[in-house]
Chains A and B, each alone.
Chain A
Amino acid sequence: MTTPFVRVSDLSRSFDVSKPWLNRVIEGGEKQYLKAVDGVSFDIPRGETFALVGESGSGKSTVARMVVGLLPPSGGGVTIDGISMSDTKAQVERQLLRRRIQMVFQDPYASLNPRWRVQQIVAEPIRAFKLVEGEADIRARVGELLTLVGLHPDDGVKYPHEFSGGQRQRVAIARALASEAEFLVCDEPTSALDVSVQAQILNLMRDLQDKFGLTYLFISHNLAVVRHMATRIGVMYLGRIVEISGGREMFQNPKHPYTRMLLDAVPDLAMSGRDREPVAGEIPNPINPPSGCTFNPRCPFANERCRVERPPLAGGVACHAVHEGRLAVKDAA
């Protein structure tokens, strides 16, 4: 068997969140670490979309940043097309790989250079990788890309601050497309967009995938959007994947209690005015996560074992209640 296009294996990342050294000496206190990502593994075959969903702070963006090589992992690794993103020996190959990967960030403000005109921003990967030669042709290509994302070629002379939030995100997407990357890591790419532009961008992303066989790692907290885009879905909770399954499967037969809770919490257009089922429990402190299954304080099915023993990810789900058959799982149709 050949390795899949993207392989993420046992990826982990901790952050040092201790007080400064001097304060620790004076006030006492240990060094403290926050495990933002803890043993995450998944594969993405070429041409498919893998989606990560999960609570705010569960580590989705941290995974994304490690996958594109912006953040070194503290454990585990990522290979893309067989090339390791962290192995120092692969320096040269990784350099070549970089142009084949692009990231669209959650936050379009942080990712666009405020001093550059939009046409410079979009043209940057075209120039850097010499994808098109000659100023006139570059300008034409930039105009084409801006049109593709629903802006106008004349918008190229503007600066990022002259755009609305959603328009800026379109600029970021145009730049990602400019590099002709094969693998796009999209962190909440459409959450700043209105639904009609979102529909255009998501349709566009799917068209590009069909046409050029693009591979996506897609992060979104909007489950309906994920439903629409993903081939496979991983649900994250406190740095770990608690459920992983095919897109359709996840919505028809959610297994993990957290996944079920997420699906129940989706706002419903028809229920104007009614209060949503409040989500039970507090989000635990990631510096000092609960023992056993980290979801246990919020889980209606937790028992003694859940409070002590961490459930392994088996059969696509990390939950004792499911593994023991205490919590029924509908058969895949």
Chain B
Amino acid sequence: MSDPVLSVRDLRVEFHTRRGVLKAIDGVSFDIGKGEVLGVVGESGAGKSVTGSAVIGLIDPPGRIAGGEILLSGQRVDNLPPEEMRKVRGKRIGMIFQDPLTSLNPLYKISEQLIETITTHTDLSPTQARRRAVDLLAEVGIPAPEKRIDSYPHEFSGGMRQRVVIALALCAEPELIIADEPTTALDVSVQAQIITLLKRLGREHGTAIMLVTHDMGVIAETADRVAVMYAGRIAEIGPVHDVVQNPLHPYAEGLMGAIPTLAGEDARLVQIPGSMPRLNRIPPGCAFNPRCGYRFGRCTVDRPDPLPWRGHRVACHLYDAASGPHFLGEGKTLAAAKKPEEAA
């Protein structure tokens, strides 16, 4: 088997602050194959964006990669000198960030920014680059691109700016795209276009995509597999259909349950009680245990590791045979583990 496009192994990222060392990522491993879309979801602050930043080598002090390896098509990239990493970024890895304003320079016209990126990473002349830039804008759905290409970022709506950022990421036809909330600012109809675009990239160019988003509908439609993150670790990773429909990890279950639906009456939304612990106050045992309705003895003592379980990996003691009577073997689902008072 050929190497996956991206392989992250036991990644650790720390922030050294005056208030101590914060472990933002604490042992995260996953692969993304050619043409595959890995969705990444999870609590705000769980480390999704930091994971993406680590892959593209953009962890700035006081942050640092404290352990693990990142391989791009089999080649280690986490220890490259900054100059070489800069070439990898932009050429081999495209980036689409949560906030379009961080990727666009407010002082330069859209045209200048696109042409500059294109000429840096390809052999095109400035005139050809301009033509390619117009094509890219059309591809991401900017109306009348030849007219609007000379606008400044502030003259575009939030959604239009994000489409410009996507065009920027596509400039060099990278092998991997890290997309951090690419459709968050977009309405459903543009969202559908962007999703179609991302899927086509995977299909036609074999581009691997790491797609971070809170929008479970987008994940359900775009991703092949999904990773659910909580407090700097992967709680569950598996095929998207399974994780969305039948989550195994109690946090994943809570997350899927909180999704508002069109059918839903205007009752209160289901919410997971409490909030994610701060990074310097992660409880011993399972980080989710203070909020977990299934907690039992082991949970406050041992930290669960992501173990293979029916085509997923899941970090929860319920799926560990060593948990004795609490073990959910023999096809038992989470419901079987409900505490009696809650099941009633």
- Which residues of A are at the interface with B, using a C-beta cutoff of 8 A? 15, 17, 19, 53-58, 61, 106-107, 109-110, 150-152, 154-155, 157, 162-167, 170, 188, 191-200, 202-203, 206, 221-225, 227-229, 247-248, 251, 261-263, 265-279, 282-288
Complex contact A228–B158 (CB within 8 A): no
Chain B minimum-CB-distance residue to A227: B262
A280 to chain B, nearest CB (A): 9
What are 8 of the A-B contact pairs (CB < 8 Å)? A56-B187, A193-B44, A194-B214, A196-B43, A224-B259, A267-B217, A276-B195, A282-B143
Complex contact B44–A194 (CB within 8 A): yes
Complex contact B217–A198 (CB within 8 A): no
Cβ of B270: which chain A residues have Cβ within 8 Å of it?
199
The answer to whether the Cβ of B119 comes within 8 Å of any Cβ in the partner chain is no
Complex contact B186–A195 (CB within 8 A): no
- Known interface pairs A163-B45, A223-B188, A282-B143; A268-B220 also in contact (CB < 8 Å): yes
Cβ of A223: which chain B residues have Cβ within 8 Å of it?
188, 262
**How far is it, in angstroms, between the C-alpha of A236 and the C-alpha of B240 when the chains are bound?**
33
Complex contact B258–A196 (CB within 8 A): yes
**How far is it, in angstroms, between the C-alpha of A106 and the C-alpha of B157 when the chains are bound?**
11
Complex contact A263–B155 (CB within 8 A): no
A283 to chain B, nearest CB (A): 5
**How far is it, in angstroms, between the C-alpha of A106 and the C-alpha of B278 when the chains are bound?**
25
A sample of 8 more A-B contacts (CB under 8 A), given A194-B43, A262-B189, is A55-B187, A165-B49, A166-B45, A195-B259, A197-B44, A228-B266, A278-B196, A285-B143
Cβ of B272: which chain A residues have Cβ within 8 Å of it?
196, 199
- Known interface pairs A228-B269, A247-B266; A165-B99 also in contact (CB < 8 Å): yes
**How far is it, in angstroms, between the C-alpha of A93 and the C-alpha of B179 when the chains are bound?**
46
Bin the interface of chain B by size: 35 or more
**How far is it, in angstroms, between the C-alpha of A161 and the C-alpha of B185 when the chains are bound?**
20
Count of inter-chain pairs, beta carbons less than 8 A: 213
Q: Mark B178-201, 1 if CB is under 8 A from A, else 0.
A: 000100111111111101100100
Contact for A275 among B44, B156, B196, B275, CB less than 8 A: B196
Complex contact A269–B262 (CB within 8 A): no
A314 to chain B, nearest CB (A): 25
**How far is it, in angstroms, between the C-alpha of A185 and the C-alpha of B269 when the chains are bound?**
21
Q: Mark B153-184, 1 if CB is under 8 A from A, else 0.
A: 00111111000000000000000000001001
Complex contact A279–B185 (CB within 8 A): no
